[in-house]
C-alpha cells in the first residue's frame, strides 16, 4: 500500500479499494456531532408512474426525502457510504457533516435513516468552519492512510482529515486549481484502484470540456472531461473493478433539472487522457430528480453494484434533499 510523499499521494502496489472503503467512518475526524431530528418521506422513481422501476441501466432500489428544522441542515454536496451499506456521511457547502445509519426494507431497498447527527467541520486552527467561503465542501474521497480528503471551492484547496484528528492538513493541489473560477472548483474527487486520486472540476457553462487531474509520485497530471451539451460534473465514485462513475447535472433555478451518469473505463484514466465514457442512465422529469451533487458506489453481498445519490437543495425551499439508491444492471 502506498503512502505520503511530500504531503501528496502516490500509487502503491496492490491497493484494494474495498479495504479503504470504510475509512470515511473510522473515527471522529470532525467536530463533535449533535443528534438532529430528520423527517423522512419515501419517494418513488416517478410520481406520475409509481410502478416504474428502471431508468436506463439503473434499477431503482428506494429513495427518501429528508427534512429538518435545523437551518444549517442541507446543501449536501459530497457523499460516502460504508462498504457494508450500513452508514452514510455527507458533507455540505456550509462546512457541515451529516451522518446516519441507513435503513432498508425486507427486500433490501433503501427505506429510511436512524441515528442522524450533524457536526461542523474544523479548519486549520481547529475552530469550526463558519463562513461560506471557508466551508464550501464540494467533494470528498477516502485516502490511502485512513483519512478523508475534502475538496473545497470558493477558496480552492484540498484538506486531509486523519482518523481521530480534528484539525486537517493541507494537501498540495494541482497547479491549475487556483485559476479555477470562484464557484467552479473541484466537484468530483475519488480514490482510484491503484491508490491515486482523480479530481474533476465543474467547468464553466458553455465550455465543451472541463479540466481534471490524476495524482502520481510527481504531483498532478492534467486530463480532460468532455462537456459539450451543457451538463457539468458534480461527483465521481470508483467501482470495485476500477471503472469510475461520473455524475453530471444540468440544472437551473427554474426547474430544468436533468441528471446523467457516465461510466469511465479505468484504462482511459491516465495523464493526457480524454474521459468520454458511456452514458448508463439519464434522470429528468417526470422522474424524481433534483440538484444531485453527491455519489457513491458499493458492491453488494451477491456482487450487485449499488449506487447512491444525494442532492444539494441550495437551502432553497423550492428544492429537496433527496437520497436515492439504484442497482446497476450489467
φ and ψ at residue 176, rounded to 5 degrees: -75, -10
Strand partners, 39: 67
- Average pLDDT (84-108) is 97
Strand partners, 209: 226
Neighbours of 270 (CB within 10 A): 13
Tens-place pLDDT, residues 290-313: 999 999 999 999 999 999 999 999
Closest CA to 129 of 119, 138, 139, 143: 119
Neighbours of 105 (CB within 10 A): 12
Euclidean distance between CA atoms 193 and 26, whole angstroms:
20
Euclidean distance between CA atoms 151 and 86, whole angstroms:
25
- Average pLDDT (123-138) is 92
What is the domain-level CATH number for residue 279?
Answer: 2.120.10
Structural domain total, the chain:
1
pLDDT of amino acid 12: 39
Cell digits of residue 242:
476500477
pLDDT range class, residue 286, cuts 50, 70, 90: very high
Strand partners, 63: 324
Q: Which helix (H) or strand (E) holds 132?
A: helix 132-135
% pLDDT > 90, the chain: 78
Mean residue pLDDT of the chain comes to 89
Neighbours of 133 (CB within 10 A): 11
pLDDT range class, residue 133, cuts 50, 70, 90: confident
Euclidean distance between CA atoms 185 and 204, whole angstroms:
10
Tens-place pLDDT, residues 198-228: 999 987 777 889 999 999 989 999 999 999 8
pTM of the model as a whole:
0.92
User: Which pairing describes strands 148-152 and 137-142: parallel, antiparallel, or unpaired?
Assistant: antiparallel
Residue 87 Cα to chain centre, angstroms: 15
Q: For the residues of 282-323, what is the DSSP string, one character each?
A: EE-TTB----EEEEEEEE-TTS-EEEEEEE--TT-TTS-EEE
pLDDT range class, residue 181, cuts 50, 70, 90: confident
User: Which pairing describes strands 87-92 and 96-104: parallel, antiparallel, or unpaired?
Assistant: antiparallel
Residue 72 Cα to chain centre, angstroms: 19
% pLDDT > 70, the chain: 88
pLDDT of amino acid 257: 84
Closest CA to 153 of 107, 199, 122, 119: 199
pLDDT(22) > 70: no
Closest CA to 272 of 208, 217, 224: 224
Cell digits of residue 40:
423522512
Tens-place pLDDT, residues 230-273: 899 999 999 999 999 999 999 766 667 899 999 999 999 999 99
Neighbours of 130 (CB within 10 A): 11
Range of the domain at 165: 4-328
Angle at 190 between CA 328 and CA 251, to 5 degrees: 70
Euclidean distance between CA atoms 142 and 18, whole angstroms:
11
The answer to which of 8-17, 116-125, 186-195 has the lowest mean pLDDT is 8-17
pLDDT(2) > 60: no
Cell digits of residue 57:
441501466
The answer to which of 60-64, 117-121, 160-164, 205-209 has the lowest mean pLDDT is 205-209
Cell digits of residue 261:
451518469
Asked if the peptide bond before residue 17 counts as cis, ω within 30 degrees of 0, the response is no
pLDDT(326) > 90: yes
Amino acid at each position: 500500500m502506498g503512502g505520503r510523499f511530500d504531503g501528496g499521494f502516490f500509487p502503491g502496489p496492490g491497493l484494494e479499494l474495498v479495504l479503504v472503503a470504510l475509512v470515511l467512518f473510522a473515527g471522529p475526524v470532525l467536530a463533535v456531532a449533535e443528534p438532529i431530528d430528520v423527517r423522512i418521506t419515501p419517494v418513488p422513481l416517478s410520481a406520475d408512474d409509481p410502478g416504474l422501476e428502471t431508468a436506463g441501466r439503473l434499477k431503482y432500489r428506494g429513495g427518501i426525502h429528508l427534512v429538518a428544522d435545523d437551518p444549517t441542515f442541507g446543501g449536501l454536496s459530497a457523499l460516502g457510504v460504508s462498504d457494508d451499506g450500513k452508514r452514510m456521511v455527507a458533507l455540505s457547502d456550509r462546512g457541515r457533516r451529516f451522518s446516519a445509519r441507513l435503513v432498508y426494507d425486507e427486500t433490501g431497498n433503501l427505506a429510511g435513516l436512524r441515528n442522524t447527527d450533524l457536526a461542523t467541520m474544523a479548519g486549520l486552527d481547529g475552530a469550526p468552519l463558519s463562513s461560506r467561503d471557508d466551508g464550501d465542501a464540494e467533494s470528498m474521497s477516502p485516502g490511502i492512510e485512513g483519512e478523508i480528503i475534502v475538496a473545497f471551492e470558493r477558496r480552492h484547496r484540498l484538506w486531509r482529515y486523519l482518523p481521530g484528528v480534528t484539525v486537517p492538513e493541507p494537501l498540495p493541489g494541482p497547479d491549475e486549481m487556483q485559476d479555477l473560477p470562484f464557484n467552479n472548483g473541484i466537484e468530483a474527487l475519488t480514490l482510484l484502484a491503484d491508490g491515486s486520486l482523480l479530481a474533476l472540476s465543474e467547468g464553466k457553462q458553455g465550455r465543451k470540456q472541463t479540466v481534471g487531474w490524476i495524482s502520481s509520485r510527481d504531483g498532478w497530471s492534467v486530463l480532460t472531461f468532455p462537456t459539450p451539451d451543457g451538463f457539468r460534473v458534480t461527483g465521481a465514485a470508483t467501482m470495485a473493478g476500477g471503472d469510475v462513475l461520473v455524475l453530471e447535472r444540468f440544472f437551473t433555478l427554474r426547474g430544468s433539472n436533468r441528471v446523467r451518469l457516465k461510466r469511465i473505463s479505468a484504462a482511459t484514466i491516465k495523464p493526457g487522457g480524454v474521459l468520454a465514457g458511456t452514458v448508463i442512465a439519464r434522470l429528468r422529469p417526470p422522474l424524481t430528480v433534483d440538484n444531485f451533487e453527491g455519489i457513491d458506489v458499493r458492491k453488494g453481498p451477491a456482487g450487485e453494484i449499488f449506487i447512491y445519490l444525494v442532492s444539494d437543495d441550495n437551502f432553497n425551499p423550492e428544492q429537496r434533499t433527496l437520497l436515492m439508491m439504484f442497482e446497476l444492471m450489467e
